[in-house]
């Protein structure tokens, strides 16, 4: 696979994923992604910013993934760990997200965030420049156990959700949408993007000259 194809998928995936997080945080009263429940709980308990905790937790997962399976760790893994948190903080600071305007509108905004995070996560992971720290961690477990990515994500994010809740993070009914809906979206986007990266990276077919 050529970098000229991989890099655009990776960068776009990171931006879409980060924007999805920022969108969901704006309606966090409905419930947010399990990893963000943890990040917000750490932010409210110890200070710093939500994005800073995303970076710190991400770097910790990179270390764990290194011992599980090095194949998912690359330069992109560190770029992801260091870039997503600041981008989320930037989107929130610039207020480039829909405002809370009522229950049904907020539910639509939340679903938009769920879908964007699933698509973005699948895209940057499939680019194979380096899976994100959280995704690399779960992909490593998936390979080790020989089970589906979706199943591993559901199990891992359920554990993270419980830890975040015990630390005082915001948990509501829609939090569970992330665990059970975003995971299949991630898996679909991951396989679809992998297919397109291979197609676009393939050799250019040229017609043979007539003899």
In this prediction, residue 74 carries a pLDDT of 80
Domains of the chain by residue range:
3-199
Report the pLDDT value the prediction gives residue 205, as an integer from 0 to 100: 45
Question: Average pLDDT for residues 129-149, to the nearest whole number?
Answer: 79
> What is the C-alpha to C-alpha distance for residues 196 and 193, in angstroms, rounded to an integer?
5
Give the whole-number percent of the chain exceeding pLDDT 70. Answer: 93
How far apart are the C-alpha atoms of 131 and 22, rounded to whole Å? 20
Residue 11 backbone dihedrals phi, psi, to 5 degrees: -65, -45
Q: Is 209 helix (H, G, I), strand (E, B) or coil?
A: coil
Q: Mean pLDDT check: name the lowest of 58-62, 73-77, 161-165, 195-199.
A: 73-77
Geometric angle at alpha carbon 152, from 148 and 157, rounded to 5°: 150
Is pLDDT at 56 greater than 90 in this prediction?
yes
Q: What percent of the chain has pLDDT over 90?
A: 13
Note whether 179 and 157 are within 8 A (CB).
yes
Q: How confident is the model at residue 116 (pLDDT cuts 50, 70, 90)?
A: very high
Q: Residue 209 — pLDDT band, cuts 50, 70, 90?
A: very low
Whether 206 shows a pLDDT value over 50: the answer reads no
Length of the chain: 211
Average pLDDT over residues 193-208: 70
Neighbours of 111 (CB within 10 A): 17
Position 42 scores a pLDDT of 92
Long-range CB pairs of 41-49 (<8 Å, 24+ gap) are 41/164, 41/165, 41/167, 41/168, 41/169, 41/170, 42/167, 44/168, 44/169, 45/167, 45/168, 49/85, 49/89
Query: What's the mean pLDDT when you consider all of the chain?
Result: 83
Taking residue 180's Cβ as centre, other Cβ atoms within 10 Å add up to 13
Measured at the CA of 54, the angle between CA 50 and CA 56, to 5 degrees, comes to 115
């Amino acid at each position: 696979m050529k970098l000229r194809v991989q890099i655009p998928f990776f960068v776009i995936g990171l931006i879409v994923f980060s924007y999805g997080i920022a969108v969901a945080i704006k309606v966090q009263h409905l419930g947010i992604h399990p990893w963000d429940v943890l990040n917000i709980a750490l932010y409210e308990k110890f200070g710093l910013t939500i994005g800073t905790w995303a970076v710190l937790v991400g770097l910790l997962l990179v270390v764990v993934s290194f011992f599980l399976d090095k194949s998912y760790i690359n330069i992109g893994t560190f770029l992801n760990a260091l870039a997503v948190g600041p981008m989320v903080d930037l989107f929130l600071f610039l207020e480039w997200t829909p405002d809370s305007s009522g229950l049904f509108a907020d539910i639509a905004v939340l679903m938009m965030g769920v879908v964007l995070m699933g698509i973005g996560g699948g895209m940057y992971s499939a680019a194979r420049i380096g899976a994100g720290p959280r995704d690399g961690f779960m992909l490593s477990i998936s390979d080790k156990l020989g089970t589906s990515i979706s199943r591993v994500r559901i199990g891992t994010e359920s554990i993270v959700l419980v830890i975040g809740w015990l630390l005082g993070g915001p948990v509501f009914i829609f939090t569970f949408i992330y665990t059970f809906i975003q995971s299949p979206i991630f898996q679909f986007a991951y396989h679809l993007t992998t297919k397109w990266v291979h197609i676009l990276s393939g050799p250019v077919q040229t017609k043979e000259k007539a003899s």
